[in-house]
Amino acid sequence: MSRPEEISPPEIFYGDVEATKYTANTRVKSIQAQMTRRALELLALPEDEAAFVLDIGCGSGLSGELLDEEGHVWVGVDIAPSMLEVALEREVEGDLFLHDIGQGFGFRPGTFDGAISISVIQWLLNADSSSHSPPQRLNRFFTTLHSALKNPSRAIFQFYPSSDDQVQMIVSAAQRAGFGGGLVVDYPNSKKARKMYLCLMVGQQEIPKALNGDEIDVDNDQKLGLEKRREEIRNERRRRKDASTSKKGKRSNKKVEDVKEWVMKKKELYRTRGKEGVPRDSKYTARKRKTYF
């Protein structure tokens, strides 16, 4: 199954239907809540006072509800209008902004006590238009985020990289922006329970411990275990390639046509509703997006 970020940009993929379906799915809500609670645990906010938190890629406000439960005040940003519309319908408590995080933030320095992000940052590695450069977008994102956070504070990112090269690209961009910290991989030996969190820090702090595992220092490639993970990924790719080679030729053309038809229908629906910023149709419409690594 293709990863969502390889199908279309987030503002297209999470249209009206997908945004509603995502929010109503009980399994998605359960997983989102579990990862958000873990992110808040890693964020280590003071327990005796309300914090001002930035929710990056807030979607329909599922993570924001948990911030509310913990007594925090939050601001959410997301690039998908349909997701934010669902959040408004659900009457979430946070302030919502329609914003492309790859363009960086315009908040005043030292605005937030912390930031969280669930299943979002890997989208920045896609070149969704000819003007998109993933390295530049990552640099703007982390540089402006670092400025918007207080000292000391943390930013916690749960994400799904497709390779260790993507991990290193993200980590390097965060380091150049001035962040310290490291990767925290929970249950590293479990395929089902394994979750990866990037724990970034403003100011000198210790990296928190992983669940059933150890923290991984971003300053040391050997500790990151890149070679071991690269080999595991290469082996997994070989296995999948061997298993799917005989089937791929029969279904590839149909899959491309179905995806293009779906994207064209969504774009036409957005135009009918008068939404701005809908990309023009071209020969590149619905083609698989170029990814780095």
Per-residue pLDDT of 177-215, as tens digits, reads 999 999 999 999 998 899 999 999 999 898 899 998 544
CA–CA separation, 180 vs 198, rounded Å?
10
For the cut 50, the answer to whether the pLDDT of residue 218 exceeds it is no
What is each CA distance from 116 to 109, 149, 253, in whole angstroms? 17, 12, 39
Is the pLDDT confidence value at 219 over 50?
Answer: no
Q: Domain limits at 158?
A: 4-232
Give the Cα separation of 40 and 55 in Å (integer): 11
The per-residue pLDDT for 157 is: 98
CATH of the domain at 150: 3.40.50.150
Is residue 240 included in any domain, yes or no?
no
pLDDT at 59 over 90: yes
Tokens of 168: 């290193």
Is 237 domain-assigned? no
- Asked whether residue 279 falls in the same domain as residue 202, the answer is no
| Overall pTM > 0.85 | no
Largest CA-CA distance found in the chain, in angstroms, rounded: 60
Same domain for 78 and 212: yes
Does 14 reside within a domain? yes
Overall number of domains in the chain:
2
pLDDT surpassing 50 at residue 220: no
Q: Which helix (H) or strand (E) holds 264?
A: helix 226-272
Q: What is the mean pLDDT of the chain?
A: 87
Domain end residue (candidates: 198, 232, 266): 232
Domain end position, chosen among 191, 210, 232: 232
Task: Provide the pLDDT for residue 198.
Answer: 97
Top pLDDT among 232 and 194 is at 194
Domain boundary among 201, 232, 263: 232
What end-to-end distance do the CA atoms of the chain give, in Å? 18
Does residue 17 sit in the same domain as residue 48? yes
Residues 72 and 145 in one domain: yes
Q: Domain check: are 268 and 205 in the same one?
A: no
Q: Decide if 25 is inside a domain.
A: yes
Q: Which pLDDT does position 275 carry in this prediction?
A: 79
Query: Does 22 have pLDDT greater than 90?
Result: yes
Domain assignment present for residue 241? The answer is: no
- Please check whether residues 160 and 196 belong to one and the same domain: yes
Same domain assignment for residues 148 and 213: yes
Residues 129 and 201 in one domain: yes
Cβ atoms of 94 and 63 within 8 Å: the answer is no
Per mean pLDDT, which range of 101-105, 180-184, 269-273 is the poorest? 269-273
44 to each of 48, 64, 116, how far by Cα in Å? Answer: 12, 16, 11
- 187 and 94 share one domain: yes
* Average pLDDT rounded to a whole number, residues 281-287: 77
For residue 158, being part of any structural domain is answered with yes
Q: Is residue 239 part of a domain?
A: no
CB atoms under 10 Å from CB of 180, counted, come to: 18
Query: Do 222 and 257 fall within a single domain?
Result: no
pLDDT at 86 over 80: yes
Domain match, 287 and 167 both: no
